[in-house]
A and B are shown apart, each in its own frame.
Chain A
Amino acid sequence: MIRMLSILVGLFFTVALAWSFGNGAYNAITEPAAPTAEHEFHKHPKELELASNGAFGKFDKAQLQRGFQVYKEVCSACHSLRLVAFRDLKQLGYNDDEVKAIAAGFQVPGLDPATGEANTRPGLATDYFPKPFANDIAARAANNNAVPPDLSLMTKARHDGPAYVYSLLTGYQNQPAELLKKFPDSKTGPGLHYNPYFANLNLAMAPPLTAEGQVTFGDGTKSTVPQMAKDVAAFLVWTAEPKLEKRHQTGWPVLLFLLFATVLGNLAYRNVWRNTKH
């Protein structure tokens, strides 16, 4: 009885699936999905080699400092870094005085101690990076109706994040003629910029890194556009995962211990079972 019912229920689901399959197949043949410009011209991120990659990866502090400089002098005009505090910069190799000086170079929201009215004051090491816009409406108004996203977690919030950041920063180009020939309606709109590494190909952000020497690195590294893009990508790996290096360093002893324990456990197992066939 239960098996008869079961077969009936089974037929209900399988016939319904066959019905969906048949309709879907018919539609797929009669009205094949139209190709889209995004589907054909979107590119996967370029390869990016960073010191933090791989299971032995470590931060290259000189590179992080250069990346921080790019963020400070270029990106921070529009992008916030709200999860990072100035005190965290000590991890990049700055000493206490340098951190205090960097913090003091930023104006953060404060209160006038006499009147209680909102004002701004120089940042302290305990402050977080200030937001460049008071709110999203102000951000939209200044940026062609797009809110520049916070960058703290950017390299973890995109597939293949560090390579994505690098590719996006170096990927601006003119819209290919081939694209316009195939999709005449897909012309990049006013105030937008064509970039094949961006999901919908057209991005409100104007190319931020435009010329060699836009930033002058203190360590003498030549600041080409790819170099600046690579350094800021490395910096954003750190902002997204400041404990990455500690994680790698902790992982190896843990795995070695577990390997040792497993081998020991296996020997114990062999010993216990040595006279018992199984």
Chain B
Amino acid sequence: MSFPWANNYTPQHPFMKWMDEKLPVPRLVYNSVGAGYPVPRNLNYWWNFGFMALTCLALQIVTGIILAMHYAANAGVAFDSVEHIMRDVNWGWMLRYAHANGASAFFVVIYIHIFRGFYYGSYKAPREMVWLLGVVIFLLMMATAFMGYVLPWGQMSFWGAKVITGLFGAIPLVGEPIQHWLLGGFAPDNAALNRFFSLHYLLPFVIVGVVVLHIWALHIPGSSNPTGVEVKSESDTVPFFPYFIAKDGWTLGAFLFIYCAAVFFAPNALGHPDNYIPANPMSTPAHIVPEWYFWPFYAILRAFTFDFFIVPAKLMGVLAMFGAILVWFFLPWLDKSPVRSANYRPLYRKFFYVLVFFMAALFYLGGAPAAEPYVMMSQVAAFYYFAHFLIIVPIVSSIERPDPLPFSITEAVLGHDEKPASAPAA
């Protein structure tokens, strides 16, 4: 599962030799994140976000486990137990702000990681499985984050839970029973809060499992790279350790700097003030909005305002919201261009930037009030979103003439490479 020139693990110490025979964990580490994993030498900084995402996951699990030691998942005391953490638990305020902002940091990193994939065609063969597992991780993250936001049992927790579980009510015939079954009642209450806490604790470990598969699947073909040309020879790669450990390490420092600046100096900037009001089923907030990382999909949900033939507007919105993510699963087969990197795809590159623009618009519009002109703007942005993935990408990949590719990574970096006498076309 690696290149023939990869460094081979040779234990020196008798204990390590013994260990290698019985349980070769050091070998596994060496081959996956050590000197035994050759990586394309030309990876740019957009490739550093996977490592940051892994750090965020670890950070969320550590802070989350400690918070769970002090939190009480009961509708009667949940809100006050969070305030107990903020006021009376030693460093509780720091743990809670680190966890709440950690979720946001995780999503910032993951969105960049995903858009890196869109630009450089990371989803294409032979890495389809890496991509599919990545989308699964993203869906699990969304479920985990949603349930985590319910736990403080503030106004937005309660009404967010009510709106999101209400989406299942849009399913014809069985929608309402499903909604009641999910909540364990007619509206969010203690039953819902308890099961959300249970699942919020479980899902991160499921994410860890899928992350292991994601990295495993990545290590079979090896990492992609900004040229999109596959690795051909030893000169195309450098060992992960120390080269990429050093590169990932220093950018991790920069990332943690920004993250800690938010934790210590603007910890509530991304939160909603209404969540500092205890949940009150009798008082509906003026604007119910989810956390910022759901805004693009929330904007898509709200963009469907009129019944479409026999499909009610609400059902249409729910289909579109889930469809907007599910479409990513099909991307490896919708984009049939043999060229991976948008650096060599002039037409696709233009549409990629249009997608970035409209995605940014959806981010803004999902947090805006559900009134004109925001709804009409959401409709335009959502129109492009669906057109991009389902119509433009398949057509562009058929009609586009890509720019010539470099022969190899080495040639792209050094300007020359020793070509074999009968060089196969790239």
A247 pairs with B250, CB closer than 8 A = no
Within residues 85 to 99 of chain B, which ones have a CB less than 8 A from any CB in chain A? 86-87, 93-94, 97
The stretch of A69-77, A168-176, A219-227, A269-277 that contacts the partner chain: A269-277
Q: Say whether chain B's binding surface is mostly helix, strand, loop, or mixed.
A: helix
B414 pairs with A3, CB closer than 8 A = no
B264 pairs with A265, CB closer than 8 A = no
A16 pairs with B316, CB closer than 8 A = yes
Instruction: Tell me which residues across on chain A come within 8 A of B97, comparing CB atoms.
Output: 247
Complex-state Cα separation, A260 to B237, whole angstroms: 30
Residue in chain B with minimal CB distance to A271: B246
Instruction: Tell me which residues across on chain B come within 8 A of A7, comparing CB atoms.
Output: 390-391, 394-395
A21 pairs with B376, CB closer than 8 A = yes
B93 pairs with A243, CB closer than 8 A = yes
B394 pairs with A199, CB closer than 8 A = no
Known: A18-B383, A156-B273, A158-B273. A6 touches B268 (CB 8 A): no
The stretch of B24-32, B201-209, B301-309, B355-363 that contacts the partner chain: B301-309
Query: A140 CB to closest chain B CB, in angstroms?
Result: 12
Encode contact with A along B68-100: 1 for CB under 8 Å, 0 otherwise: 000000000000100100110000011001000
Encode contact with A along B105-146: 1 for CB under 8 Å, 0 otherwise: 000000000000000000000000000000000000000000
A3 pairs with B243, CB closer than 8 A = no
B264 pairs with A250, CB closer than 8 A = yes
Encode contact with A along B240-261: 1 for CB under 8 Å, 0 otherwise: 0011001101101110110011
B178 at the interface (CB under 8 A from A): no
B249 pairs with A255, CB closer than 8 A = no
B351 at the interface (CB under 8 A from A): no
B383 pairs with A153, CB closer than 8 A = no
A251 pairs with B264, CB closer than 8 A = yes
Known: A20-B304, A159-B273, A248-B265. A2 touches B372 (CB 8 A): no
The stretch of B185-193, B330-338, B399-407 that contacts the partner chain: B330-338
B386 touches which one: A10, A24, A156, A265 (CB < 8 A)? Answer: A10
Known: A6-B390, A16-B304, A251-B265. A269 touches B250 (CB 8 A): yes
Query: B238 CB to closest chain A CB, in angstroms?
Result: 6
Residue in chain B with minimal CB distance to A261: B253
Instruction: Tell me which residues across on chain B come within 8 A of A152, comparing CB atoms.
Output: 83
Instruction: Tell me which residues across on chain B come within 8 A of A266, comparing CB atoms.
Output: 250, 253
Instruction: Tell me which residues across on chain A come within 8 A of B330, comparing CB atoms.
Output: 2, 6
Complex-state Cα separation, A24 to B379, whole angstroms: 10
Complex-state Cα separation, A153 to B287, whole angstroms: 20
B80 touches which one: A83, A269, A272 (CB < 8 A)? Answer: A83
Within residues 129 to 184 of chain A, which ones have a CB less than 8 A from any CB in chain B? 149, 152-153, 156-159, 161
Complex-state Cα separation, A13 to B382, whole angstroms: 9
Within residues 276 to 309 of chain B, which ones have a CB less than 8 A from any CB in chain A? 276-277, 286, 303-306, 308
Instruction: Tell me which residues across on chain A come within 8 A of B274, comparing CB atoms.
Output: 157
Query: A248 CB to closest chain B CB, in angstroms?
Result: 7
Query: A21 CB to closest chain B CB, in angstroms?
Result: 4
Complex-state Cα separation, A16 to B387, whole angstroms: 12
Instruction: Tell me which residues across on chain A come within 8 A of B221, comparing CB atoms.
Output: none
Complex-state Cα separation, A18 to B305, whole angstroms: 11
B276 pairs with A13, CB closer than 8 A = no
Known: A251-B265, A278-B42. A3 touches B336 (CB 8 A): yes
A207 at the interface (CB under 8 A from B): no
B306 pairs with A23, CB closer than 8 A = yes
Complex-state Cα separation, A21 to B304, whole angstroms: 8
A21 touches which one: B42, B242, B320, B380 (CB < 8 A)? Answer: B380
A216 at the interface (CB under 8 A from B): no
Interface residues of A (CB under 8 A from B): 2-3, 6-7, 9-11, 13-21, 23-25, 28, 33, 55, 83, 88, 149, 152-153, 156-159, 161, 199, 240-243, 246-248, 250-251, 254-255, 258-259, 261-262, 265-266, 268-269, 271-273, 276-278
A-B contact pairs, 26 of them (CB 8 A): A3-B333, A3-B394, A6-B330, A14-B383, A14-B391, A16-B308, A18-B379, A20-B304, A25-B376, A33-B371, A83-B87, A158-B273, A161-B273, A243-B87, A247-B97, A247-B264, A251-B261, A262-B254, A265-B253, A268-B250, A272-B242, A273-B246, A273-B247, A277-B414, A278-B41, A278-B413
Interface residues of B (CB under 8 A from A): 41-43, 80, 83, 86-87, 93-94, 97, 238, 242-243, 246-247, 249-250, 252-254, 256-257, 260-261, 263-265, 267-268, 273-274, 276-277, 286, 303-306, 308, 311, 313, 316, 320, 323, 330, 333-334, 336, 371-373, 375-376, 379-380, 382-383, 386-387, 389-391, 394-395, 398, 413-414
